[in-house]
Amino acid sequence: MAFCRSVFSHSPSASLPIVSIFSKSALPFLIYRHKLSKFTKLPFIYQNPQSYTHSAIISRTLCLSSTSFSMESAPEGYRRNVGICLINPSKKIFAASRLDIPNAWQMPQGGIDENEDPKIAAIRELKEETGIISAEILAEAPYWLTYDFPPEVREKLKRQWGSDWKGQAQKWFLLKFTGKEEEINLLGDGTEKPEFGEWSWMSPGQILDHAVDFKKPVYKEVLTVFAPYLE
């Protein structure tokens, strides 16, 4: 099946957006671009996250409770990180395309600062990466989830971070978006370099389809944990 992709961008010399059509694009959806925010519509079919199987390569480390947290509970050798599953009132999940990996989409995530509460880190990272401040925490995964970096990614991040991590140990949070879409700004809050090019509200199935392979097992688990909120 052939697909077309329409790309809209503003021109300073025209009142109407410029539209480019690419046949048989690798991305079978419309992409709308704006100077400050990007929005992508993806016409896919919902897939029930409860049908996903658990992966044996996921490491689980139970925390004391959803309100108490021990940084030492994360596995050794993994960078401590938060993941954010942000849903809108229609229970679709926010995802954005990475600028450094073509055709790779992901949910927001980021490192936990020293002595930082993971909940605070989740709110901070969401603001830094998407500009979103209108969100409330609905749930928290009760254990850490880890993934290993592929060798080439590990080497790249070793140079970037100055530390050699096996991968990332993530504490995941489910948040509900309570603002308006005009708030979403992929330039973030200006404190960090932008990481994303476009964004979309996706079904759980779309999240898995567009994720990089080494993150898919964690995403499957996250969608299973938060499944009651996505139905």
196-211 mean pLDDT: 96
User: Domain total for the chain?
Assistant: 2
Query: Can you tell me the distance from the alpha carbon of 191 to that of 13, in angstroms, rounded to the nearest whole number?
Result: 31
20 and 101 co-located in one domain = no
| Amino acid in the structure at residue 55 | S
Provide the domain limits for residue 11.
Answer: 4-33
User: Phi/psi at 201 (nearest 5 deg)?
Assistant: -95, 120
Q: What is the pLDDT of residues 72-116, one digit of tens each?
A: 578 889 999 999 999 999 999 999 999 988 889 999 999 999 999
175 and 225 co-located in one domain = yes
Is 39 a member of any domain? Answer: no
Confidence of residue 71 (pLDDT cuts 50, 70, 90): very low
Q: What is the pLDDT of residues 11-36, one digit of tens each?
A: 333 333 322 222 333 444 434 343 34
To the nearest 10°, the Cα dihedral for 224, 72, 139, 225?
A: 10
Residue 190: give its domain's CATH number: 3.90.79.10
160 and 128 co-located in one domain = yes
Residues in CB range of 139: below 8 A, 6 or more apart: 173, 174, 225, 226, 229
At residue 178, the 3 state secondary structure works out as: coil
Q: Hey, which of 45-54, 60-69, 83-92 has the most confident mean pLDDT?
A: 83-92
Q: How far is CA 189 from CA 164, 183, 186, 192, in A?
A: 28, 11, 9, 7
Residues of the chain with pLDDT > 90, as a percent, come to 60
172 and 208 co-located in one domain = yes
73 and 8 co-located in one domain = no
Confidence of residue 68 (pLDDT cuts 50, 70, 90): very low
8 and 109 co-located in one domain = no
Tell me, what's the pLDDT at 60? 36
CA angle 99, 102, 106 (to 5 degrees): 70
Structure tokens at 169: 């140990």
Q: How far is CA 194 from CA 2, 69, 158, 173, 227, in A?
A: 32, 29, 20, 22, 30
